[in-house]
């Protein structure tokens, strides 16, 4: 199987993208195809033994469009952004030409009606042919610069898959052809002295209608293209984060080279204020690195030898050297950009529904336009009247707004997610997230910090806390146990001097002992103390109380007396309580899933106010617990670290990996939270709700607009109120509807998690 990206040229609406999708899907060997109208590209997964890229390109061409393999190397920096800029430049040129000539045409055609001065050779019945010819010559360049509508529209109409361009081509083409017919009738009337015929046809040229339809639709498309360009801002901002050059050590000399020329293993020199070009590991020096652009974490992170650094983060203070471990498309930044692009180009179920409706909508509209034209003729109305009705129906029904309703909102929504440090891998997961009613949280590393910390230091009356911590840290320093690491770290924080330990002995599962300044000290659990016949006294009750709070108490003693207790626990993150409260306020049932014992789980449940806790669950059984909740009819999200929780993340309706994202997290989760902050779960859900609300608003207005516009254009209100829609106004209204939908979607750029 092979998955490749193709650039597609010529698509203007969802009917176009649907036509390309249908054509490629019908090919033998094609597994899946996804066409992105906004970025003008298509991703195809296919069996190389049955079909090749050339055949796919040929099929797209037969459908009335152009395609070419996307250049993945250049895509990383210039792909979609350049496509958007090229489209804007081309649409700007067409708009300027169309509007400029249309204004002249409107002045010539409408000037005499409102008393504006026009050249004498265009005034009067005797100059009617000259007037018509001037209008025709002003219309021709407008038709020429917008010939793409006709090329695509008639080609797809011929292949019985009409799209929005078909409506524009037939509508404006009919107006221009009728104008040419009127020009000949005027010439015949002048030649035969039939001045009434000349007067009649000189008022029914319709060149200005055809030209204005093209000009206004092109103006709408230009504004649309600019808006679409703005929706790619998130990707563009991410691309701009990485530097273009890097300073590397070659033959012990510092050399500045393009980032594209870096190879794995290069030693890169970073100075204060510089941006880090690729991912790597520090081999010399130390610094503080600002990772806010990728993780949203505002405080610079201290980095030392052996620590990882990420591409596009900024060195704040100090200089260091690091070894490049990930370059090119493998860097964290490249992965993020790829995820955002894939999410933007994927389709939510609600978008697929809009595509199906759009595919049916265009042929139905053509049928309505023809029916309206024939009915008004049969009712005895003039040919010009019936033609105007038919053209108005075709123009106002163009489903631009319908085609843009979903993809623009999805692109803005996923872009906003990226700016908040939330990577949404597909439009489907973005849509599903708004329906969540249950969020399952892994405890270790998600609710808690994921590493033990000292919480209590309780010394006996004859020892101070500092003396207890000195003895405890000195004894535990030779040990490799995680609880020992926590005590050593606490002592280092308090700048306590470690004493040398002699005759060190570790008893697995019990504790350690050793001599400090010729005196023997013991450190361990209750059993270890009892083994040495140490009387715990009041410390036994204190240890029990600490255990009930989910902490692990460690006893410290001489060979005769207890000198104190140091309690260690995996502490709850400072943001977890607020995050869980926010989820509950959204009406979501929060469940904590942990492999810890029930006592520890209950202590954390009480601290955070979580109603449901499932404790003592093995990693392999977490997936089964998610399945069990789903069988109860719940829509479940699983939040974990993405490594031991991978099966559960994959099983959930929405898998959310928290933390800076390992490869496993990115593979198994639907949403990756770059910050190690549980509050981003509720932010992701709020973003999903805001995006779906925006899509529904867009779809409503797109359908509502057509529901009102088509009957008015078809003349249903003409017998009662004398209302009918001029094709020029229909073109303006159609363009405005698309601009409204795009503008509404862009409101998502103001999304805030606090709302």
Q: Mind listing the pLDDT tens digit for each residue in 190-244? A: 888 888 888 877 876 778 777 877 887 787 677 656 655 554 555 566 566 778 8
Residue 643 clears pLDDT 60, i.e. is over it:
no
d(CA 290, CA 298): 7
Cβ distance 612 to 591 under 8 Å?
yes
The pLDDT assigned to 13 comes to 63
Q: How far apart are CA 89 and CA 748, in angstroms?
A: 26
What pLDDT does residue 39 have?
Answer: 67
pLDDT tens, 529-586? 998 999 888 999 999 888 888 788 999 999 889 999 999 887 888 888 999 999 999 9
> Is residue 251's pLDDT more than 60?
yes
- For 170-181, the pLDDT digits (tens) are 778 887 888 888
Cα gap 344→231, rounded to integer Å: 10
> Helix, strand, coil % (nearest 5) of the chain?
55, 20, 25
User: Residue 372's pLDDT band (boundaries 50, 70, 90)?
Assistant: very high
Residue that wins the pLDDT comparison between 369 and 166: 369
| More reliable by pLDDT, 167 or 324 | 324
CB-based contact 473:544 (threshold 8 Å) = no
Catalytic positions are 442
Predicted confidence band at 74 (pLDDT cuts at 50, 70, 90)?
Answer: very low
Sheet of 2-9, strands arranged across: 30-36, 41-46, 2-9, 66-69
Phi, psi of 235 (to 5 degrees): -65, -45
Query: How does residue 344 score in pLDDT terms, banded at 50, 70 and 90?
Result: low
Which string of DSSP letters, residue by residue, matches 208-251?
A: HHHHHHHHHHHHHHHHHHHHHHHHTHHHHHHHHHS-SEEEEEET
The answer on pLDDT for 342 being more than 80 is no
According to the model, what pLDDT value does residue 593 have? 87
Of residues 111 and 592, the one with the higher pLDDT is 592
Count Cα atoms within 13 angstroms, Cβ side, for 216.
24
The confidence score (pLDDT) of residue 133 equals 92
**Rounded Cα distance, 34 and 618, in Å:** 39
Question: Within 13 Å, how many C-alpha atoms sit on residue 23's CB side?
Answer: 25
Q: Which residue has the higher pLDDT, 700 or 281?
A: 281
Per-residue burial over 296-320, b if 16 or more Cβ lie within 10 Å, else e, is bbeebbebeeebebbbbbbbeeeeb
In this structure, the strands spanning 612-614 and 589-593 are parallel
Kindly report, residue by residue over 82-96, the tens digit of the pLDDT. Answer: 555 666 788 889 989
CA distance 484 to 559: 20
Which is higher by pLDDT, 439 or 17?
Answer: 439
pLDDT attached to residue 730: 62
Closest to 329 (Cα-Cα) out of 276, 262, 265, 423? 262
- Asked if residue 612 has pLDDT above 80, the reply is yes
Mean pLDDT of all residues in 384-395:
80
State the Cα–Cα distance between residues 509 and 528, nearest whole angstrom: 9
- Structure confidence at residue 84 (pLDDT): 56
Which pLDDT score, from 0 to 100, does residue 557 have?
93
Does this model's pTM top 0.75? My answer is no
Tell me the CA distances in angstroms from 17 to 76, 161, 684, 734, 755, one per residue in order: 24, 11, 29, 19, 35
Separation of alpha carbons 448 and 446, rounded Å: 5
Q: In the chain, pLDDT over 90 holds for what percent of residues?
A: 18
pLDDT for 296 equals 46
At 399-421, the pLDDT tens digits run: 566 666 777 787 788 888 888 88
Q: Which residues contact 498 (CB under 8 A, 6 or more apart)?
A: 470, 473, 474, 477, 491
Is the pLDDT at 449 greater than 60? The verdict is yes
Helix axes 332-345, 400-419, angle to 10 degrees: 160
Could you tell me what percent of the chain has a pLDDT over 70? Answer: 83
Cβ atoms of 513 and 479 within 8 Å: the answer is: no
Least confident of 56-65, 325-334, 395-404, 492-501: 395-404
Q: What is the mean pLDDT of the chain?
A: 81
| β-strands 253-258, 245-250 pairing | antiparallel
Q: pLDDT by residue (tens digit) across 252-308?
A: 888 999 888 888 899 999 988 888 999 999 999 888 888 766 654 545 777 888 888
Given pLDDT bands bounded at 50, 70 and 90, which one contains residue 1? confident
DSSP-derived secondary structure for 244-271: SEEEEEETTEEEEEEGGG--TT-EEEE-
Residue 521 has pLDDT above 90, yes or no: yes
The pLDDT, as a whole number, for residue 582 is: 92
Instruction: Determine the average pLDDT of the residues in 130-158.
Output: 88
Nearest-CA neighbor of 400 among 358, 349, 453? 358
């Amino acid at each position: 199987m092979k998955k490749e990206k193709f650039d597609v040229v010529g698509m203007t609406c969802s009917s176009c993208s649907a036509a390309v999708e249908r054509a490629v899907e019908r090919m033998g060997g094609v597994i899946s195809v996804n066409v992105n109208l906004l970025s003008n590209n298509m991703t195809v997964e296919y069996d190389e033994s049955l079909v090749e890229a050339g055949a796919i390109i040929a099929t797209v061409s037969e459908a009335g469009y152009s395609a070419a393999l996307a250049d993945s190397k250049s895509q990383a920096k210039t792909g979609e952004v350049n496509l958007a800029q090229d489209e804007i430049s081309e649409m700007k040129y067409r708009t300027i030409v169309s509007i400029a000539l249309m204004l002249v045409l409107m002045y010539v055609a409408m000037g005499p009606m409102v008393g504006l001065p026009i050249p004498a050779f265009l005034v009067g019945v005797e100059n009617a042919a000259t007037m018509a010819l001037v209008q025709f010559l002003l219309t021709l360049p407008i038709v020429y610069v917008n010939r793409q509508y006709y090329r695509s529209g008639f080609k797809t109409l011929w292949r019985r898959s009409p799209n929005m361009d078909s409506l524009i081509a037939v509508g404006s083409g009919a107006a221009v052809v009728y104008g040419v017919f009127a020009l000949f009738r005027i010439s015949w009337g002048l030649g035969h002295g039939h001045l009434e015929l000349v007067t009649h046809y000189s008022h029914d040229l319709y060149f200005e209608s055809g030209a204005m339809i093209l000009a206004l639709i092109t103006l709408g498309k230009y504004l649309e293209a600019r808006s679409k360009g703005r929706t790619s801002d998130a990707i563009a901002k991410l691309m701009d984060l990485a530097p273009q050059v890097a300073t590397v050590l070659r033959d012990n000399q510092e050399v500045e080279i393009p980032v594209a020329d870096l190879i794995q293993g290069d030693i890169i020199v970073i100075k204060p204020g510089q941006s880090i070009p690729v991912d790597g590991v520090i081999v010399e020096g130390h610094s503080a690195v600002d990772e806010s652009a990728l993780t949203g974490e505002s405080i610079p992170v201290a980095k030392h030898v052996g620590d990882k650094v990420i591409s596009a983060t900024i060195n704040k203070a100090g200089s260091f050297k690091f070894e490049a471990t990930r370059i090119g498309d493998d860097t964290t930044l490249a992965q993020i950009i790829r995820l955002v692009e894939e999410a933007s180009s994927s389709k939510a179920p609600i978008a697929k529904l809009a595509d199906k409706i759009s595919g049916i909508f265009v042929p139905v509209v053509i049928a309505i336009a023809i029916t309206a034209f024939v009915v008004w003729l049969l009712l005895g109305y003039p040919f010009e009247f019936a033609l105007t009705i038919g053209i108005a129906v075709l123009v106002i029904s163009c489903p631009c707004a319908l085609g843009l309703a979903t993809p623009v909102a999805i692109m803005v929504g996923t872009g906003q997610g990226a700016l908040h440090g939330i990577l949404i891998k597909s439009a489907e997961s973005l849509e599903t997230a708004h329906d969540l009613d249950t969020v399952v949280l892994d405890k270790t590393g998600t609710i808690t910090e994921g590493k033990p910390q000292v919480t209590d230091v309780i010394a006996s009356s004859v020892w101070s806390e500092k003396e207890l911590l000195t003895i405890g840290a000195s004894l535990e320093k030779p040990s490799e146990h995680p609880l020992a690491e926590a005590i050593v770290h606490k002592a280092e924080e308090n700048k306590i001097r470690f004493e040398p330990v002699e005759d060190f002995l570790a008893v697995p599962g019990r504790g350690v002992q050793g001599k400090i300044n010729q005196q023997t000290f013991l450190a361990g659990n209750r059993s270890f103390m009892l083994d040495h016949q140490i009387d715990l006294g009041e410390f036994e009750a204190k240890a029990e109380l600490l255990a009930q709070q989910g902490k692990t108490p460690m006893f410290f003693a001489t060979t005769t007396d207890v000198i104190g207790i140091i309690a260690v626990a995996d502490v709850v993150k400072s943001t977890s309580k607020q995050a869980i409260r926010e989820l509950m306020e959204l009406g979501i049932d929060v469940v904590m899933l942990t492999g810890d014992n029930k006592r520890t789980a209950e202590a954390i449940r009480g601290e955070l106010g979580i109603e449901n806790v499932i404790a003592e669950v093995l990693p392999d059984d977490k997936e089964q617990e998610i399945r069990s909740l789903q069988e109860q009819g719940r829509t479940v999200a699983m939040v974990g670290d993405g490594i031991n929780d991978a099966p559960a993340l994959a099983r959930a309706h929405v898998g959310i990996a928290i933390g800076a994202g390992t490869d496993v997290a990115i593979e198994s989760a639907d949403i990756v939270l770059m910050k190690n902050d549980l509050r981003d779960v509720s932010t992701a859900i709020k973003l999903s709700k805001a995006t779906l609300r925006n899509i529904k608003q867009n779809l409503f207005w797109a359908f509502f607009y057509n529901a009102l516009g088509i009957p008015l254009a078809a003349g249903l209100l003409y017998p009662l109120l004398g209302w009918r829609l001029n094709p020029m106004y229909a073109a303006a209204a159609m363009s405005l509807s698309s601009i409204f939908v795009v503008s509404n979607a862009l409101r998502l750029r103001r999304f805030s998690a606090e709302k």
